[in-house]
Amino acid sequence: MEIIVKGEDAHHRDEEKAPLLRHHKSMLDGEKKNLIQKAISQTFKHTGHHRDEEKAPLLQDHKSMPDGKKKNLIQKAISQTFKSTAHLANLLPTGTVLAFQLLSPIFTNQGNCDPVSRFMTAGLVALCGLSCFLASFTDSFRDENGNVCYGFATVHGLWVIDGSDTLPPAVAEKYRLHFIDFMHAFLSILVFAAVALFDQNVVGCFYPTPSVDTQEILTAVPVGIGVICSMLFVVFPTKRHGIGFPLSAN
């Protein structure tokens, strides 16, 4: 009888311990899963960090490269050409420069010249150069009514082009020719030659396939002419306000 009771008590204790064992086992399983998940997560973090380190130099190289907003070398060269042309054009008659810039693409056929186009382009350059030369000898004044009158400077004074007015000899003496007028006329031809060489249509017309040496000359000569002539215009200014040049307040 005692053996049966003891057996029942032992069985009852086993039943009481069973939930505890299952609970303990489930806790162990949960801890194992957490440890495994942490290990996997740590592995992915380490791998991701390693990949970031591998990508870092590429990202740095990408940042060091110029973005789309920065001008490339060709755009800088074109921009510098336009700036140089605009600066030199201020030293020339406005109408002559405007006419040349409008007619140049037409006469040169956008730089693709045949013999006829080349001849016409040469004539255009010569006529515009002559216009710049003659404009250096022109001057202007205001008559009694405030109208602007233009004329050519001569050794005796100013010859009014339209003959609408005449100047007294004492006043005309101020407008007579000087050596500096010839100097400015010569410099105007050089400046216009530089402007023509900055025009890619003209260069492409006369030099469709230039050699390396020719290309260097075509690039350096206009810049040199522009710098030297600009300095001479500043050192030896003119008081004339001829055709195509701004008028003074007087």
Which residues, 6 or more positions from 207, have their beta carbon under 8 angstroms from its beta carbon?
A: 214, 218
Q: Are 175 and 198 in contact (CB under 8 A)?
A: no
| pLDDT score of 100 | 92
What are the CA-CA distances from residue 247 to residues 122, 235, 242 (Å)?
31, 21, 8
| pLDDT score of 108 | 92
Mean pLDDT by 10 residues, the chain (250 residues): 44 49 50 54 47 43 49 55 54 83 91 91 94 90 80 86 77 86 92 90 90 89 87 84 72
| pLDDT score of 235 | 85
| pLDDT score of 94 | 78
Q: How far apart are CA 239 and CA 175, in angstroms?
A: 10
| pLDDT score of 149 | 82
Whether the model pTM is above 0.75: no
Q: So where are the chain's domains?
A: 1-65, 73-137+177-235
Contacts 24+ apart (CB under 8 A), 201-205: 201/104, 201/105, 201/108, 201/110, 201/111, 202/104, 202/108, 202/111, 202/121, 202/125, 203/111, 204/108, 204/111, 204/112, 204/113, 205/108, 205/109, 205/111, 205/112, 205/113, 205/117, 205/118, 205/121
| pLDDT score of 47 | 44
Tokens of 53: 């380190």
CA nearest neighbour of 168 among 135, 204, 144: 144
Other beta carbons within 10 angstroms of residue 137's beta carbon come to: 19
The per-residue DSSP string of the chain comes to -HHHHHHHHHHHHHHHHHHHHHHHHHHHHHHHHHHHHHHHHHHHHHHHHHHHHHHHHHHHHHHHS--TTS--HHHHHHHHHHHHHHHHHTTS-HHHHHHHHHHHHHHTTTT---HHHHHHHHHHHHHHHHHHHHHTTEEEEE-TTS-EEEEEE-SSSEEESS-S----HHHHGGGS--HHHHHHHHHHHHHHHHHHHH-HHHHHHH-SS--HHHHHHHHHHHHHHHHHHHHHHHHS------TTSPPP--
| pLDDT score of 126 | 95
